[in-house]
Amino acid sequence: MTEPTPELAARAAQQHVVVIGGGIGGLVAARECAKVGMPVTLLEASAELGGAIRRAEVDGIVVDAGAESFATRGGHVRALVTELGLGGSIVAPEGGGAWIDGIPDVGAAPIPKGGILGIPDNPFAEDVRRVLGTGGMWRAYLDRLRPPLTIGFEHSLGKLVAGRMGEKVRDRLVAPVTAGVYSAHPDDVDVEAVAPGLSAALTRVGSLSGAVAVLRGEREQKGATPGSAVEGLVGGMSTLVDALRADLEQLGVEVRTGARAEALVRDGNGWTVRVETVVADDEDVAESEELRAAAVVVATSEPAARALLAGHAELGEEAVAPEIQIITLVLDAPELDAAPRGTGVLTVPGSRIAKALTHSTVKWGWLRETAGGRHVVRVSFGTQGELPATAALDDADAAQLALAQASAMLGVTLRPEQLVGAHRARHVQAQPASVIGSAERRTAARAAVRAVPGVVAVGAWLAGTGLAQVVPDAVSETDRLRRALLFG
């Protein structure tokens, strides 16, 4: 939206907007409204802003306890980061590639180069043969001899891969990626959601491996290079949250933490938001109040959004959201100096208790410098339809389980006395946008919210997980709200 005229500015000053939720979606929405002069109150139920972006201090090292990077696609997050003055802090991952662990009869091996979502473009490549074995390699090659599929014939990524290249490609190469990245089995993943254009390329070239090669070539022509799919920030992703908060306060936004929105009530042409605010000196005591608003942005998790919107919008069936636990370990382990498994490890589903590991001090140079010779390792548990193995454990036992899994996944014996600090973060992740049927469910829910005057909803449960989806969605939905308030 362009700079408002004096008349529009005066009108904007009369449009109080309440944003419920202080994750990235809520912070961006609040900023978009405040930029045109609207008075904004942002309510966050917890004590901290950021949502899926959070920090922790472990043995004196500040680490990302939630999201550690952002996808570069679309350039939306990079643009936001640059606008906030953090452009000089953007960094690419280091340390080479990652590994796959739990491969039957193989153990562990580097993730083959030259693929998309684990699907190889050359079944005869040595790194592919190492994972698949000779039999799996030749079965994958049969893809070149099979007739092409019609566009849209197969929506399931897992079924497409198994049918074209065999179950070993699906189970040993693709499943570790979809479980680690999307918290979903490849059979449940929508092809077009995770690899747009793959079906069309398959139809054109006649083989899945050929389609992968075509898509990789197209991406390289657009400037994408291996390792450029994600970027991070020096100091961690929470620096983005800090910058957003500072910008909001400069724009005059009232940012309130420990303030839970309990209900939305239609009030004439506007809304009343009933709020419970924790008293600073006593977390068991809350003060109640009502805020009058011309419009409301609901930027919470799906369960909280549904509770607030009940009676106002028919949102359909609620999605099943996976619980994820990330155990961050700080280790005094010189044997990890050689980065034995690169930047981290993905596991073949069912082979390990943990689904993934990130060797953070190999992946991020700024963290390696901060750690002063210690190693930071993140171990992830939990996936779609499966509780984390750490769910019933206390923090100490969860850390020991993570240490044992890290030792196995890294192929290095790590002793309990080498663990100098640990932190556990719990996340209830929105259902991955990659899951088959998710797009239709989100579209229906979004339409129901849009039918309610003066309300928009943003966040991962509607936009899809990841900042690259949440940020542009929050901008576009908030722009729709601003236009409705200013132009009627």
Say which residues have a Cβ less than 8 Å from residue 402's Cβ, sequence separation at least 6.
327, 329, 354, 379, 381, 390, 422
Give the chain's end-to-end CA distance (angstroms, integer).
15
Q: Give the CATH H-level superfamily of domain 114-221.
A: protoporphyrinogen ix oxidase, domain 3 (1.10.3110.10)
Res 251: pLDDT: 97
Say whether domain 6-49+238-319+433-487 belongs to CATH 3.50.50.60: yes
Place of tokens 């920030």: 233
3-state secondary structure string across 412-428: CCCCHHHEEEEEEEEEE
CB atoms within 10 A of CB 184: 25
Sheet with strand 107-110: strands edge to edge: 107-110, 99-103, 344-347, 356-359, 375-381, 323-331, 419-428
Determine if residue 384 is left, alpha or beta; phi over 0 gives left, psi from -120 to 50 gives alpha, anything else beta. Answer: beta
- Domain positions in the chain are 6-49+238-319+433-487, 69-95+231-235+322-428, 114-221
Q: Which pair of structure tokens corresponds to residue 193?
A: 């959601």
Q: Are 360 and 354 in contact (CB under 8 A)?
A: no
How many Cα atoms within 13 Å fall on the side-chain side of residue 432? 23
Helices 157-165 and 208-221 meet at what angle, rounded to 10? 120
pLDDT per residue of the chain (488 residues) written in tens, 0 to 9: 556 678 888 888 899 999 999 999 999 999 999 999 999 999 999 999 999 999 999 999 999 999 999 999 899 999 999 999 999 999 999 988 899 999 999 999 999 998 999 999 999 999 999 999 999 999 999 999 887 665 556 789 999 999 999 999 999 999 999 998 888 899 999 998 888 889 889 988 999 999 999 998 887 777 655 445 899 999 999 999 999 999 999 999 999 999 999 999 998 889 999 999 987 656 667 789 999 999 999 999 999 999 999 999 999 888 777 789 999 999 999 999 999 999 999 999 999 999 999 999 999 999 999 999 999 999 999 987 788 999 999 999 999 999 999 999 999 999 999 999 999 999 887 777 788 888 889 999 999 999 999 999 999 999 988 999 999 999 999 999 999 999 87
Res 68: pLDDT: 95
Residue 50: burial class (beta carbons within 10 Å; 0-12, 13-18, 19+): buried
Say which residues have a Cβ less than 8 Å from residue 284's Cβ, sequence separation at least 6.
none
Res 280: pLDDT: 66
Q: Are 393 and 403 in contact (CB under 8 A)?
A: no
Fold entry, domain 69-95+231-235+322-428? Polyamine Oxidase; Chain A, domain 2 (3.90.660)
Res 384: pLDDT: 75
Res 227: pLDDT: 46
Q: Which stretches of 187-314 are DSSP H helices?
A: 191-194, 198-205, 208-221, 238-250, 302-309
Q: What is the largest CA-CA distance in the chain?
A: 72
Two domains, one topology: 6-49+238-319+433-487 and 69-95+231-235+322-428: no
What is the C-alpha to C-alpha distance for residues 429 and 41, in angstroms, rounded to an integer? 26
What is the C-alpha to C-alpha distance for residues 241 and 24, in angstroms, rounded to an integer? 7
Q: What is the pTM of this model?
A: 0.93
